[in-house]
């Protein structure tokens, strides 16, 4: 572990993004447009208040998953990852550098989208705003960590993009947004219980309905953080200094 290498990697990833303003624009604007569309579709009903907050976490989750899996795949195919791993940098330094850079971006993204939803679109949540934003940021970081991990199993950008429906959509179907988790069959409930997005949505639900922070919410957030750490550790395990 070297803080120097971690910070240098984070700075490098941010510099790459700075040269690509369109990607930054898309990262910030797309979740906002989707939230606005959602508010418009459900105008005059209770639905926006019910699902607005969970989706505020899911949109950044999806976007960050996609961006990171493609970014790390590019690093693998361009030979820069191999070069880096032949240098004195730890695998964890590399991953944490990415996590730091994209995590920072996730904070900006979540803050802008939450701000828009709360102040312009009239999203009504009972719980504290800081918790709403925090869960959204955690969701984005979870998407990033999963994206880093699955990029190891993609050899081409076509494959990397296919991992979005393969990894993200099942979590979306089972997270309790479409059908409440306690109404699912035992098997589906068990399946949804091992998927990290379910806990993120549970936490968002709690923020929507409850004015105080409950212990269940802390447990849910703890599980999301655990899933992030696990995905990063698995991601580090897929980085190989020696290849065929």
Partner 1 sequence: MNSAIAVAGLRVLRGGRTVLDELSFEVPRGSVTGLLGPSGCGKTTLMRAIVGVQIVAGGDVQVLGRPAGTAPLRSLVGYVTQAPSVYADLTVGENLRYFATVLGAPPGDVDRVVGEVDLEEYVDSLTASLSGGQRARVSLAAALLGTPELLVLDEPTVGLDPVLRRDLWRMFHDLADNGVTLLISSHVMDEAVRCDRLLLMRDGALLAEDTPEELLRQTGTKDIEAAFLALVERRATEGSS
Site residues, partner 1 (CB under 8 A): 4-5, 8-9, 11-12, 15-16, 19-20, 78-80, 82-89, 241-244
Helix axes 47-77 and 196-209, enclosed angle (nearest 10): 150
The distance of closest approach from Cβ of residue 85 to partner 1 in the complex, given in angstroms and rounded to an integer, is: 7
CA–CA dist 181, 84 (Å, integer):
44
What is the distance between the alpha carbons of residues 67 and 109, in angstroms, rounded to a whole number?
13
| C-alpha pair distances (Å), 102 with each of 15, 141, 200, 211 | 12, 8, 19, 30
What's the min distance (Å) between Cβ of 244 and partner 1? Answer: 6
Nearer to partner 1, 17 or 201 (CB): 17
**For partner 1, the closer CB: 2 or 129:** 2
Q: For residues 198 and 175, is the Cβ–Cβ distance under 8 A?
A: yes
Which DSSP symbol is given to 86? T
Cα separation, 67 vs 106, whole angstroms: 11
Task: Count CB-CB contacts under 10 A for residue 128.
Answer: 13
| In the complex, least distance from residue 210 CB atom to partner 1, rounded to whole angstroms | 45
**Residue closer to partner 1 (CB basis): 86 or 193:** 86
As measured in angstroms, the least distance from the Cβ of 15 to partner 1 is 5
Instruction: Closer to partner 1 by CB, 8 or 111: give it.
Output: 8
Q: Kindly state the smallest distance separating residue 43's Cβ from partner 1, in Å.
A: 41
């Amino acid at each position: 572990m070297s803080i120097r290498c971690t910070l240098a990697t984070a700075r490098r990833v941010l510099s790459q993004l700075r040269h690509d303003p369109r990607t930054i624009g898309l990262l910030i604007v797309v979740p906002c447009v989707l939230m606005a569309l959602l508010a418009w579709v459900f105008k005059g009903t209770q639905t926006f208040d019910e699902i607005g907050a969970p989706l505020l976490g899911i949109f950044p989750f999806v976007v960050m998953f996609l961006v990171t899996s493609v970014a790390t795949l590019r690093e693998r195919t361009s030979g820069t990852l191999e070069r880096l791993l032949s240098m004195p940098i730890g695998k964890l330094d590399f991953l944490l550098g990415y996590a730091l850079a994209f995590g920072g971006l996730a904070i900006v993204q979540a803050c802008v989208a939450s701000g828009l939803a709360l102040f312009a679109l009239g999203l009504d949540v009972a719980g504290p705003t800081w918790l709403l934003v925090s869960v959204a940021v955690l969701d984005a970081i979870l998407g990033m960590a999963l994206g880093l991990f699955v990029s190891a199993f993609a050899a081409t950008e076509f494959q990397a993009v296919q991992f979005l429906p393969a990894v993200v959509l099942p979590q979306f179907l089972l997270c309790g947004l479409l059908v409440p988790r306690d109404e699912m069959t035992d098997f589906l409930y068990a399946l949804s219980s091992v998927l990290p997005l379910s806990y993120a949505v549970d936490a968002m639900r709690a923020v929507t309905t409850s004015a105080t922070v409950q212990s269940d919410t802390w447990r849910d957030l703890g599980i999301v953080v655990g899933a992030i750490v696990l995905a990063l550790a698995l991601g580090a395990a897929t980085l190989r200094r020696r290849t065929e």
